[in-house]
Structures are given as C-alpha cells and as structure tokens.
Amino acid sequence: MPHPPCPNNGIAIALASVLGDDKVAHPGSPAYQNSVASYYSVQQATIRPACVVFPRTATLTKEGPSIAFGVRSGGHTGWAGASNIAGGVTLDLTGLNDIEVTQEGTIVRVGTGATWDAMYQKLHPLGRTVAGGRVAGVGAGGLTLGGGISHLSPQRGWKCDTVLNFQVVLSDGQVVNANADENADLFFALRGGGGNFGIIEKEARALGAYDPFVFLSYAMPDQNPIASYGEENVRRLVAVRDRVDPAGMFTKQVPGRHKIHNA
C-alpha cells in the first residue's frame, strides 16, 4: 500500500546529510516500510514518521536537530505512539542487537534491540538462561525499562533486577555506564522508570543455569509453565489446591498448560 506523502521531508534530508544516507530511511523506501510494518500493533504500524533512523553509534543525540523523536527496540508496545511518532523521527534500534556471552558464561551483554527469542536461542546451547520476555519479538530495551515480568520471575525476580550495567546515551550525547557503583541513581531509575532518562544502547545481565522453561511461549507439549515457578512455589500451590480442591477437579478436568499435576 503506498504511503501518504510526508510533510516533513526536510527533517529526513537534514538528518541524512549529517548521519549518512544509509542510516536514514525516507517514506516509501523499503527500509522505512519494513520498519513501520514490523510493529506488533496496528495502532503503531499505521503511524508515519518523517523518517526512520537506524543508529549504529551513540552520536545521534549529539548531532541531530531538535525535533520530537520516538525510540523503538522490539516495537511490541501496543498503543499508538509508544515507540513510533507521527511526523517526527523514529529511532529504530533493532540493529543494535548483538548478544555476547562472557567466557565464563555468567554474564550476557545484549544490544537493546535484541529480542528475547534470539537471546534464548543463543543461550540455550550454552546451558544458560536469563529472566526475560515471555513472547518472541519483545525487545530487551523496552521490557527492562518497564520492569519486565518473566516466566522465571517467581524464582528470579523482575527482569530488570538481573541487569548489572546499562550503557546509556544521555541527552547531551554523553555515553555513560549505570550500575550499582557508577551513576547508581540512573541505574535505579532505568530499572522500571521507562524511557525518561536516556537511550539504552546495551545491557549486561547475570545469567543463570539453563531452565527448560525458557521457551514457554512455544512450549513443547511436555513442558509445564507452573514448574518454572520453582519447587517451593509449586509446593505452596499444591498445598492450596489440596485445601480448596482436594479431588483436583480444576487441575485434572480442565485442560491447559498451567497445570499443577504436571509440575
């Protein structure tokens, strides 16, 4: 479907002259169309930015003009304008998607645009996992900034709590680290405080041992999500079930994957 003409083409031209044509996609170009069409929700996919910028480095905020911009990692947030912007500049960070595991296998460094399914696929053969998103396509950046509920959260906490360090671009273009020792206030804020403080480029997070439930959204029939809650939590659930439904009517007669008797 042809895109409606964009009134703000001047922005795209100005940015391309600073950043290079390969990093700025104009309306109607394949890169622009692919980016806009790849949002999870129709509400976001129908928004038309003046251009889409694909940063590879942290220079954009330093050199870009003062205009409104949207920031997008996985693009999974549903509401219109969450990570896209009508007539402004959309920063599409999906290209910042490196996933690098340290030699000891205890830490993963991940670009903000990496998706959780890509992360699990990388970690699975290494026998490692992390508390991450529950659905393919959700991005590392957005999920962390919102706190992040994982299938492994009952055992390992919020997704943002496994982060050890953020590499962040601030409004003045500085690239800083935020962790427990350095910029600790920013570290606190980024773990659930949303996109109010800067642009995350990269996160380092602690890994745990492989858990067979990381692929829950595409679970094999023999997997049971309840088991991912951990033995102690399962014991508590079973105790409640035994008290309120001793015959196990709801666990046995109602089909589904979240079943205690499989855990």
Ligand X SMILES: Cc1cc2nc3c(=O)[nH]c(=O)nc-3n(C[C@H](O)[C@H](O)[C@H](O)COP(=O)(O)OP(=O)(O)OC[C@H]3O[C@@H](n4cnc5c(N)ncnc54)[C@H](O)[C@@H]3O)c2cc1C
Which among 229, 217, 240 is positioned nearest to 262, based on CA atoms? 229
Among positions 78, 95, 105, 173, the unique one binding ligand X when judged by CB under 6 A: 78
Q: Smallest distance, Å, CB 118 to ligand X?
A: 12
Q: Is 76 in the site for ligand X (CB under 6 A)?
A: yes
Edge-to-edge order in the sheet of strand 99-101? 99-101, 107-111, 199-206, 163-169, 175-179
Asked whether 66 and 87 are in contact (CB, 8 A), the reply is no
Q: Is 173 in the site for ligand X (CB under 6 A)?
A: no
* Contacts for 18 with CB less than 8 Å, ≥ 6 apart: 63, 64
Sequence letter at residue 145:
L
Q: Is 112 in the site for ligand X (CB under 6 A)?
A: yes
Please give the DSSP secondary-structure letter assigned to residue 227.
G
Stretch of residues binding ligand X (CB under 6 A), selected from 5-13, 51-59, 138-146, 171-179 = 138-146
Among positions 6, 152, 199, 207, the unique one binding ligand X when judged by CB under 6 A: 199
Sequence letter at residue 96:
L
Sequence letter at residue 208:
G
Q: Which is nearer to ligand X, 192 or 248 (CB)?
A: 192
Provide the CA 189 distance to its chain's centre, in angstroms.
17
Stretch of residues binding ligand X (CB under 6 A), selected from 16-24, 28-36, 50-58, 146-154 = 146-154
Q: Which is nearer to ligand X, 47 or 251 (CB)?
A: 47
Q: Smallest distance, Å, CB 70 to ligand X?
A: 6
Residues in contact with ligand X by CB under 6 A are 40, 71-78, 82-83, 93, 112, 133-135, 138-139, 141-143, 145-146, 148-149, 195, 199-200
